[in-house]
Amino acid sequence: MTDKYGFIDKTGRFVINPKYDNVGDFHEGLAYASYQHKYGFIDKTGNFVIEPRFEITQNSSTISHFQEGLASVYYGGKWGYIDRTGRFVIEPKFYEAYQFADGIALADCGFRKCGLIDRTGKFIVQPIFNVIRYSRNGLFPTQFEKNWGFIDKTGKFVIEPKYDICFHFHNEMIAHVKYNGKSYLIDKTGKIITGPYDDMGIFCGGLIRVKKNGKWGFMDNTGKFVIEPKYEEAGDFSESDELACVKYDNKNIVIDKSGKIVFEPNGWVCYFQDGIAKIIHDDKYGLIDKTGKIIVEPKFYWINNFFDGIARADINGKGKYCFIDKTGKIIREVLSAGDFHEGLACVRIEVESQTTKNPPTPKPQPRPYKPQKQKSGCYIASSVYGSYNCPQVWTLRRFRDNTLDETWYGRAFIKTYYAISPTLVKWFGETNWFKKLWRKPLDKWVKKLNEHGLENTPYNDKY
């Protein structure tokens, strides 16, 4: 027996049989799937439409799904982006790369610094920041060195980095920030609306929970308390049902946005979702409706949020999971599973070993990006760095083709260099003193070129 992954529909029926080593969720009709230590992308028939040629990394969470027609993949030790045919539209050159949203993506070129790129792979925000959190409101919570502020899509700080941490701006165009351990609300100019307070949540249903002097209340987007702080604990208001669970005088109660008690549950009620919420009693999970009626008695060790009307649940706390509908009916038991996306969910089960021998036949693929083999050129740099295809030499080759070759004196230097350097490398290229002699000046020159905008990514020679 062996564990394999496949996909089920909402009835629990396998529509893609379990035969993959690992899989991701479906997005834009495709899901990543791994087979024999490589991964590609399959369609909803289970066939590889992009063959499994990409490398598995320890940080598998970085593998992205398709979004806006592109997905990041790991190839040749770096991350790049492919389209739905499997063709590289941005060659592998990043240490980390994430999904595109609104035409931009977060990427890291190393040194634990990140920036934002466009769909051509060009940095529109240079990778100088510790952390950038994407936001559709156009203001990105960003950490620079030790402090947090907000940048725009050009990388300019709209609100200077001076906070302990920043959270996203919401539709109300106000954000929660922390400064010297206290919570504040600020507007998009950085002006403080209200604060300081002990703590805050996030805006949900038009209100934000705020802790003042050890008690929780709820505030609107003007910074005014609409429900005074008097609760020992508080959850967020739901967007659709406008209910929240709070603890008052050591009792759990569910209130509406006026603070009126709706019902008193026998347990803690989580966030409402389309009239249903999870209820926790004695560390077990069940389901409750917005009138306080128990739909499913608390018996599960954990229930996830509902997706497409189906939720994952932990049956026994020992690695046995299932899918349930909103009545609590168990649809299928599995070893592990993902959430439903586009009508399908990935699951892991035990199968007979022989059933996994024949994966779907991949369709013909576009030719993948491959590093260029050395022809002639950059003899000294190749000797010093040990390869014609490495970041330092890629930088120098760009400088040769796009700067030196554009002037008569640059071309004269190239001609002289190629007349002399092959002989020098032939005689001394393997000696330590030769490499030490050239390494320091080359490192300085490469660094200077990179600082002036020359990339150190894979490069094909101009000629």
Tens of pLDDT along the chain (463 residues)?
A: 788 999 999 999 999 999 999 898 999 999 999 988 889 999 999 999 999 999 876 544 456 789 999 999 988 888 999 999 999 999 999 988 888 998 999 998 766 789 999 999 999 999 999 989 888 778 999 999 899 999 998 999 999 999 999 988 876 688 999 999 999 999 999 999 999 999 998 888 889 999 999 999 999 988 999 999 999 999 999 888 899 999 999 999 999 999 999 999 999 999 898 899 999 999 899 999 999 999 999 999 989 889 889 999 999 887 789 999 999 999 999 888 888 999 999 998 888 765 445 555 555 555 444 444 444 456 788 777 766 666 788 788 878 877 786 666 677 788 778 778 877 877 777 787 888 888 888 888 888 786 666 676 655 665 5
Q: What gap in Å lies between CA 9 and CA 146, rounded to an integer?
A: 46
Residue 176: its pLDDT value, please? Answer: 92
Q: For the domain made up of 204-335, give the CATH fold.
A: Methylamine Dehydrogenase; Chain H (2.130.10)
Q: Where are the alpha helices (DSSP H) in 386-452?
A: 391-402, 408-428, 432-451
What is the value of pTM for the model shown?
0.70
**Contact (CB, 8 A) for 285 and 303:** yes
Distance CA 314, CA 303 (A): 6
**In terms of DSSP bridges, do strands 131-132 and 123-129 run parallel, antiparallel, or are they unpaired?**
unpaired
Helix residue spans in 226-323 (DSSP H) = none
Contact in structure between 54 and 75 (CB atoms under 8 Å): yes
**Cα 94 from Cα 54, distance rounded (Å):** 15
Q: Where are the alpha helices (DSSP H) in 317-407?
A: 379-385, 391-402
Per the DSSP assignment, residues forming a β-bridge with 105 are: 100, 117
- Rounded (10°) angle between helices 432-451 and 391-402: 60
CA distance 197 to 148: 19
Domain ranges of the chain: 139-201, 204-335, 379-451
Q: Hunting for tokens 């899918």 — which residue is that?
A: 323
Per-residue pLDDT, 393: 81
Helical pair 432-451 and 408-428, crossing angle rounded to 10 deg: 150
**Cα Rg of the chain (Å, integer):** 28
